[in-house]
C-alpha cells in the first residue's frame, strides 16, 4: 500500500505528484499514455498498469485528468475498487459536473472532495497559488496536511460545486482582462505600436485600476448604485471606443459587449446610477 494514488500525469498531474513525493508521501501513479511515469518511478513512485490496480494501491485517489468526461470514463473502470476510499478530483469541471460526480461517488460509497486549482504547474509546491476545495469536510480536514504540500488550501463548503464556481468566476475576470488587452494591442498596432510597447503602458494602468475593485464590491454588496462619488453609467458610455475600433478596422466585440450591458441599464432608466449597476444585467433575474 502507498499513501496516495495519482491518476493522470499531464503537466499539472506530474507537478502534483512531484510535490507529494517531495513532501514524503509514498505514491502509486497511472497515466493513460505509458512512459510519463518514468521520472516519478525513478524517484520512488510505483507505476500501475491499470486504473483498478492504481486505485487498490492507496486509500486516497487523486484524479487530475483532461475533463469531466475523462474522469467519468477513467473512474468507471474501477468503481468497485474505489468503494471505501477517498477521491480528490482536481480536474477542471463546471459546478454541476462536480455535483454530479459527488452524487455518483455517494452512490458507490466513495468519500468525495472536489478541488479547483488556481495555479500553473510551476506554482505547485509553493504558496504562490491556491486550490479551492468543496465537498466532504471530513475528507478535507483529514487530508489537509497532504493538500497543503501543493499550495494554499481554501475550503468552500459541503456543496461539491462551490470550489469550481469560485475558480471559474475568477478565471472569467482573468480571461476578459486578457481579451481587453488583446483588443487594445490590436488597436494600438494600427499606429505602429508593438504589443510589447503597449503592454509596458497597459500593465501599470491595469494594476492601478484593480484598486477600484474593493469599492465596486462594497457598492454591489450594499445594492445602492446611487451612492455619491460613483462614475455614472451615462458617463461610462463606451460607444466612442467602439467607433474608434471600427474606424481602425479592428473588431470591437470585446468592448461592444461591455457597452451592451451599459446601454441595457441606461435604457431601463438607470443612467444616472453607478457603473457597478451592470451586475444587475448579468444576473439571471436582472
Asked if the structure places residue 149 within a domain, the reply is yes
Asked if the structure places residue 171 within a domain, the reply is no
Asked if the structure places residue 170 within a domain, the reply is no
Query: Residues 207, 146: one domain?
Result: no
Contacts of residue 115, Cβ cutoff 8 Å, sequence gap at least 6? 88, 89, 90, 131, 132, 133, 147, 163
Last residue of a domain, one of 105, 130, 165: 165
pLDDT confidence of residue 50: 97
Residue 31 has a CB neighbour count (10 Å cut-off) of: 21
Residue 273 belongs to a domain with what CATH number? 1.10.1040.10
C-alpha span between 185 and 202 (Å, rounded)? 9
pLDDT confidence of residue 284: 74
Query: Residues 151, 242: one domain?
Result: no
Kindly give the pairing relationship between strand 86-89 and strand 111-118: parallel
Query: Residues 217, 129: one domain?
Result: no
Asked if the structure places residue 179 within a domain, the reply is no
Query: Residues 148, 224: one domain?
Result: no
Q: Which of 189, 173, 199 is nearest to 251 (CA)?
A: 189
Query: Residues 94, 199: one domain?
Result: no
The pTM (predicted TM-score) of the whole model is 0.92
Structural domain of residue 76, as residue ranges? 4-165
Asked if the structure places residue 177 within a domain, the reply is no
pLDDT truncated to tens, each residue of the chain (286 aa)?
A: 999 999 999 999 999 999 999 999 999 999 998 889 999 999 999 999 999 999 999 999 999 999 999 999 999 999 999 999 999 999 999 999 999 999 999 999 999 999 999 999 999 999 999 999 999 999 999 999 999 999 999 999 999 999 999 999 999 999 999 999 999 999 999 999 999 999 999 999 999 999 999 999 999 999 999 998 899 999 999 999 999 999 999 999 999 999 999 999 999 999 999 999 999 999 976 5
C-alpha span between 286 and 280 (Å, rounded)? 5
Query: Residues 13, 151: one domain?
Result: yes
Query: Residues 15, 115: one domain?
Result: yes
Residue 196 has a CB neighbour count (10 Å cut-off) of: 8
Last residue of a domain, one of 148, 165, 182: 165
Query: Residues 276, 198: one domain?
Result: yes
Query: Residues 159, 232: one domain?
Result: no
Asked if the structure places residue 63 within a domain, the reply is yes
Amino acid at each position: 500500500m502507498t499513501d496516495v494514488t495519482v491518476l493522470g500525469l499531464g503537466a499539472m498531474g506530474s507537478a502534483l505528484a512531484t510535490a507529494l513525493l517531495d513532501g514524503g508521501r509514498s505514491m502509486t501513479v497511472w497515466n493513460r499514455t505509458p512512459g510519463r511515469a518514468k521520472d516519478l518511478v525513478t524517484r520512488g513512485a510505483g507505476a500501475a498498469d491499470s486504473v483498478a490496480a492504481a486505485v487498490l494501491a492507496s486509500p486516497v485517489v487523486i484524479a487530475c485528468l483532461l475533463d469531466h468526461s475523462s474522469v467519468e470514463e477513467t473512474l468507471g473502470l474501477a468503481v468497485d475498487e474505489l468503494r471505501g476510499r477517498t477521491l480528490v478530483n482536481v480536474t477542471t469541471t463546471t459546478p454541476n459536473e462536480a455535483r454530479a460526480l459527488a452524487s455518483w461517488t455517494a452512490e458507490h460509497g466513495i468519500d468525495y472532495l472536489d478541488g479547483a486549482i488556481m495555479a500553473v504547474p510551476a506554482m505547485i509546491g509553493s504558496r504562490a497559488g491556491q486550490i479551492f476545495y468543496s465537498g466532504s469536510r471530513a475528507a478535507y480536514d483529514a487530508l489537509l496536511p497532504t493538500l497543503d504540500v501543493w499550495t494554499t488550501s481554501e475550503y468552500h463548503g459541503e456543496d461539491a460545486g462551490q470550489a469550481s464556481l469560485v475558480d471559474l468566476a475568477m478565471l472569467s475576470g482573468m480571461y476578459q482582462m486578457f481579451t481587453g488587452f488583446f483588443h487594445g494591442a490590436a488597436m494600438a498596432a494600427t499606429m505602429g505600436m508593438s504589443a510589447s510597447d503597449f503592454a509596458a503602458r497597459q500593465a501599470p494602468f491595469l494594476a492601478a485600476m484593480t484598486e477600484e475593485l474593493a469599492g465596486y464590491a462594497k457598492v454591489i454588496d450594499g445594492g445602492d448604485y446611487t451612492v455619491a462619488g460613483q462614475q455614472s453609467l451615462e458617463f461610462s458610455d463606451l460607444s466612442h471606443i467602439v467607433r474608434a475600433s471600427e474606424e481602425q478596422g479592428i473588431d470591437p466585440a470585446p468592448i461592444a459587449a461591455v457597452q451592451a450591458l451599459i446601454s441595457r441599464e441606461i435604457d431601463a432608466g438607470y443612467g444616472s446610477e453607478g457603473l457597478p449597476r451592470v451586475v444587475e444585467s448579468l444576473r439571471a433575474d436582472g
